[in-house]
Amino acid sequence: MKKARVLLSLVALMSLSEAALAAPAWTDWGKITSLESYGDNIYVKGIALALNPGECSNTSMVRIKYSLPAASKEALIFVLTSALLANREVRLRIDDACQDTYPALIGVQIQ
């Protein structure tokens, strides 16, 4: 009986989709090529998006997650703009959910 429970647990775990197992993740280091601003909608271009934890349909750029607090969005915009102007490398923290059809940006590191 115990073996049957373990086997059923393994089968259940393996049947979960990748989306169900997804979690926020960091991109590789890279340079931002452009930022686009449309009011509250800030898009970041240039970072290779090999990972897509939210399985978003459009990975040509990332969008700052709309539900972040205003202070968090301002801080992200400041760091992103600084990195772009200084030609510094960044890596982006991508949420496991999409912002519309784009991967949602929730964090950034600069080096």
Q: What sign does the CA torsion over 98, 101, 104, 110 have? A: positive
pLDDT at residue number 16: 42
What is the residue-averaged pLDDT of the chain?
83
Neighbours of 77 (CB within 10 A): 16
> Is residue 6, in this structure, part of any structural domain at all?
no
For the stretch 69-90, pLDDT in tens is: 999 999 999 999 999 999 999 9
Range of the domain at 50: 19-110
> Is residue 88, in this structure, part of any structural domain at all?
yes
> Is residue 73, in this structure, part of any structural domain at all?
yes
> Is residue 50, in this structure, part of any structural domain at all?
yes
CATH number of the domain enclosing 76: 2.40.50.110
> Is residue 49, in this structure, part of any structural domain at all?
yes
Residue 62 CA to residue 81 CA, distance in Å, equals: 14
For the stretch 5-26, pLDDT in tens is: 433 343 443 344 444 446 899 9
Residue 35 CA to residue 6 CA, distance in Å, equals: 50
pTM over 0.95: no
> Is residue 1, in this structure, part of any structural domain at all?
no
> Is residue 9, in this structure, part of any structural domain at all?
no
Domain count, the chain: 1
Mean pLDDT of 43-67: 90
> Is residue 12, in this structure, part of any structural domain at all?
no
